[in-house]
Amino acid sequence: MACALVLAILVSSVLHPLSLTTLADESDNNRDALLCLKSRLSITTWNTTSPDFCTWRGVSCTGQPQLPLVVALDMEAQGLTGEISLCMSNLTSLVRIHLPNNQLSGHLPPEIGRLSGLRYLNLSSNALSGEIPESLSLCSSLDVLALSSNSVGGAIPPLLGTLRNLSSLDLSSNKLSGEIPPLLGSSPALESVSLANNFLEGEIPLFLANCSSLRYLSLQNNSLSGAIPAALFNSSTITEIHVSMNNLSGQIPPFTNFPSKLNYLHLTGNSLTGIVPPSVGNLTRLTGLLIAQNQLQGNIPDLSKLSGLQFLDLSYNNLSGIVPPSIYSLPLLSFLGLANNNLRGTLPSHMGNTLSNINSLIMSNNHFEGDIPASLANASRMEFLYLGNNLLSGVVPSFSSMTNLQVLMLYSNQLEAGDWTFFSSLANCTQLLKVNLGGNKLRGNLPPGSVATLPKSMVNLILRSNYISGTIPLEIGNLSKTSLLYLDNNIFTGPIPSILGQLSKLVVLSLSRNKFSGEIPPSIGNLNQLTELYLQENELSGSIPTSLAGCQKLVALNLSSNGLNGSINGRMFSKLNQLSWLLDLSHNQFTESIPLEIGSLINLGSLNLSHNKLRGKIPSALGACIRLEALNLDRNLLEGSIPESLTNLKGVKVLDFSQNNLSGTIPEFLETFTSLQYLNMSFNNFEGPVPIGGAFANTSSVFAQGNALLCSNVQVNDLPRCSTSASQRKRKFIVPLLAALSAVVA
C-alpha cells in the first residue's frame, strides 16, 4: 500500500532534469545517507550487503533502475532508537517519512527544511524533544505533519500557518507553549488540526475559526482563553470540534448555518456562561454533545430532533428546571450525564424502555424525586447507574436484567428496601464492581444468602447510614476482591465476625456507630493492605489485639467510644509507623502510662487519647511527632510537667491537656506556636506566670481556669499578681493579655 501511495505521488510530481552524472552522484549520496541512518538509528532490518538499497525494508525508490533515488521511508514500530541524523536531509528526493511508534530521541534537525519536496512527515509516538524547527515552513509541499505524543516544546513556528498545501496538522500531546499562530487556518487545503494536550495559551485564532476547508479541530486540554469565535460554530464544513479542558469563557455562540455537518461538539471543562443555545437542537447530525463542567444556567433546550445523539453530557453546571421528556426518548443515546445541576422533576416510568441503548445514566446530585422507574430493569446494556444525592423515594427496584452493570450509585436518597428483593437481584449483575446505597432508609436484616450471592467481582460495598439491623452475615467472607467496606451508621449487633480477616484486599473497613459487642477479632490483623480502620462508637470490650501490628499500612485508626481496656501496647504501635491521618483511642478505659513507642509515629497528624484512665507522665518521645496538628490528652490521670520536647510541635493547631494532674509552669515555648488555634490547660495544678504572647493573646482560644497557683504579671480580676521573683522572666508586650486573662477567670 505504501508503494502504491509513493507511485501515485511520483506520477503527479515534476522532476527536475538531471544529467546521468548528477543522478549517479545523487544515487551514491542516497546510499551513503541510508548507511548513516542505519548506524545512527540502530536499524537492524536492512541487509546492507545488497547493493540495491531500494530492496531494504521500508525504503521506496524511483528514477532509473540503475540510478535509484529514495522517495519514502516507512518504518513504523521498528524499534528505532537514537537521534534523527543530519544525513536524512541528504535524501533530497524524499517525499514521505513515516517513522511513528519508535524510540527516536533528540531534536528534529533544522536541516530537514532542505527536503523541499517533502509531502508527508510522521514522527508521532517517539521521544523527541527540543522545538519544532522553523525551517519546516520551507517544505512548501508539505501536506501532512504529525509529531504527536513526543516531548516537543517551545512555540509553534508562526510560518507553519503559511504552508498552502498543508491539510493535516497533528502536534497533540507534547509540551508546546505560547499562542496558536494567528495565520494557522489560512491554508485553503487545511482539513484537520490537532493541538490537544499541550500548554497553549491565548485565544482561538480567527483564521482558524474561519477556515473554509476545516473538518476536524482538536484543541482540548490546553490553557486557551477568551470567547469561542462565532464563525467556528457556523462553518459549512466542520464535523468535529474538541475544545474541552481550557479556560474559554463567555457564552456558547448560537448556530445559524443549517444544515450543519457538525456531528461532535466537546466543550467540557471551561468557564462558559449563559444558556445552552436552543439552536443546538437543530444540529440534526450530532452524535456527541458534551458541555459538562461549565457555568451554564437555565433550562435544557428541546433536543427531540437529535435522533442520532449517542452521548449527551451536561453535568456539573447550574442548569435548572425539568428535563425535556424528549431526552428520555432518544433511541441511540448510550451516555446521559446530567449530574451536579439543579434539575428537578420525576423520572419517566417508561425511560427504561425508550432508552434501550443506554449504557451510562449519570444523574446524581440534583433534586429528582419520586420512584426509580421499574422499567430501568429493561435497560439491559446499563453499565453505570448514578442516581445518588437526589430526593428519590419508594422501594429500590430489581436489577436482575442488568447483567452488564458495573457501578450502582443510589446513595443519599430516601429509598427503602422493601423485602430486599433488589439486593438479591444483584446476583445477576455478574460484572458488578461498586455499590453505594448509603444514606437511605433501608431497614431490616440483610436477607439470608443475599450476601453470599453477590458477585465475586465486587470491590466496593457501601451500606452506611441506613437502619440495617441484625448481624453481619458470615457469607461476607466470600467478597474476596472487596477493597472498600462501609457498614457504619447502622444498627448492626453481635460480634464483629472473624471471617472479615479473610478479605485480604480490604483497604478501608468502617464498622463505626453500630452496636457491635465483644472483642475486636484478632483476624483483623491479617488485613495487611488495610489503610483505614474505623470501629468507633460501638460496644466493644477487651484489649486491642496485638495482631493489629500486621496492619502495617494503616494511616488512620479510630477505636474511640467503646469499652476497650488494658494498657496501650507500645510495641504493637511501633509497628504501625505509617499512621499519619489519625490515631483515636479516646473514650475508652485504657490504663497505665502512655507508651514511649507512640513517639515513633513521626508522621501522625492527630493523636487523641482523651477520656481514659492513663497515668504517669507525658512522654518526652511525643516531641518526635513533629507533624502533629492535634494532640488531645485531656480527662486522664496524667501528672508531672509538660515536657520541653513538645517545643518541636511547631505546626500543632489543637492542644488539650485539661482535667489531669499536671503541674509546673505553663511552658513559654507555647507562645511561639503560630498555628495554634485551641489550647486548653484548665483544671490541672499549673503554677506561676501565665505566658502573654502568641496564642495567649486570643481570648477565645486559650483556657487555663481551675489552676489555683497561676498568677499574672499585670492586674487581672481574681488572678493574683506574681511575686517579684516570678516576675524576673523577660518582659513582653502585655496589653493583649488583660482581656485574655479577664476571660480566663470570669
- In tens, the pLDDT along 273-301 reads 999 999 999 999 999 999 999 999 999 99
The values of phi and psi at residue 247, to 5°, are: -120, 35
Cα–Cα distance for residue pair 593/487, rounded to 1 Å: 33
The domain segmentation of the chain, as residue ranges, is 29-224
Query: Contact, 595 vs 568, CB < 8 A?
Result: yes
Least confident of 55-59, 179-183, 381-385, 690-694: 690-694
Structure confidence at residue 720 (pLDDT): 74
What is the pTM (predicted TM-score) of this model? 0.87
End-to-end Cα distance, the chain: 93
> Higher-confidence residue: 424 or 738?
424
Structure confidence at residue 256 (pLDDT): 87
With H, G, I as helix, E, B as strand and everything else as coil, classify residue 505: coil
Average pLDDT of the residues in 731-743: 40
- Cross-sheet strand order for the sheet of 661-664: 639-640, 661-664, 685-689, 709-711
Query: What rounded mean pLDDT belongs to the chain?
Result: 91
Structure confidence at residue 22 (pLDDT): 65
Average pLDDT of the residues in 406-416: 98
Residue whose grid cell is 453546571: 317
Average pLDDT of the residues in 346-364: 96
Structure confidence at residue 727 (pLDDT): 45
Instruction: Identify the burial level of 730 via C-beta atoms within 10 angstroms of its C-beta, where 0-12 means exposed, 13-18 middle and 19 or more buried.
Output: exposed
pLDDT at 448 over 90: no
3-state secondary structure 300-340: CCCCCCCCCCCEEECCCCEEEEECCHHHHHCCCCCEEECCC
With H, G, I as helix, E, B as strand and everything else as coil, classify residue 608: strand
The values of phi and psi at residue 559, to 5°, are: -120, 20
Q: Which residues of 327-341 are buried (b: 16+ CB within 10 A; e: fewer)?
A: bbbbeebbbbbbbbb
pLDDT digits (tens, 9 = 90+) for 39-88: 888 888 888 777 888 989 999 998 667 778 999 999 999 999 999 988 89
- Cross-sheet strand order for the sheet of 414-416: 297-298, 318-322, 342-346, 367-370, 391-395, 414-416
Query: Contact, 339 vs 316, CB < 8 A?
Result: yes
Segment 662-665 long-range contacts (CB within 8 Å, at least 24 positions apart)? 662/618, 662/638, 662/686, 663/639, 663/687, 664/640, 664/688, 665/641, 665/689
The CA distances from residue 566 to 518, 638, 657, in Å, are 15, 16, 22
Structure confidence at residue 719 (pLDDT): 59
pLDDT at 493 over 90: yes
Structure confidence at residue 330 (pLDDT): 95
pLDDT digits (tens, 9 = 90+) for 201-240: 999 999 999 999 999 999 999 999 999 999 999 898 999 9
pLDDT at 3 over 80: no
Structure confidence at residue 728 (pLDDT): 46
With H, G, I as helix, E, B as strand and everything else as coil, classify residue 206: helix
- Cross-sheet strand order for the sheet of 103-106: 81-83, 103-106, 127-128
Query: Contact, 653 vs 680, CB < 8 A?
Result: no
E strands present in 511-624: 515-519, 532-534, 539-542, 556-558, 563-567, 582-584, 589-593, 606-608, 613-615
* Percent of the chain at pLDDT exceeding 70: 92
pLDDT at 148 over 70: yes
Structure confidence at residue 696 (pLDDT): 82
Cα–Cα distance for residue pair 203/422, rounded to 1 Å: 52
pLDDT at 380 over 50: yes
Instruction: Identify the burial level of 519 via C-beta atoms within 10 angstroms of its C-beta, where 0-12 means exposed, 13-18 middle and 19 or more buried.
Output: middle
pLDDT digits (tens, 9 = 90+) for 239-272: 999 999 999 999 999 998 878 899 999 999 999 9
Average pLDDT of the residues in 394-418: 96
Q: E strand or H helix at 571, and its extent?
A: helix 570-574
pLDDT digits (tens, 9 = 90+) for 669-699: 999 999 999 999 999 999 999 888 888 877 6
Q: What's the distance, CA 27 to chain centroid?
A: 55
Q: What angle do CA 678, 682, 684 make, to 5 degrees?
A: 135
Residues linked to residue 264 through DSSP beta bridges, in sequence order: 240, 288
Assigned C-alpha cell, 387? 442516581
Best CA proximity match to 510, nearest among 479, 544, 490, 487: 487
Structure confidence at residue 52 (pLDDT): 86
Cα–Cα distance for residue pair 443/464, rounded to 1 Å: 12
Assigned C-alpha cell, 438? 448509603
Best CA proximity match to 349, nearest among 304, 410, 394, 402: 394
CATH superfamily of 29-224: Ribonuclease Inhibitor (3.80.10.10)
3-state secondary structure 19-58: CHHHHHHHHHHHHHHHHHHHHHHCCCCCCCCCCCHHHCCC
Cα–Cα distance for residue pair 612/614, rounded to 1 Å: 6
Assigned C-alpha cell, 720? 493574683
Cα–Cα distance for residue pair 343/684, rounded to 1 Å: 56
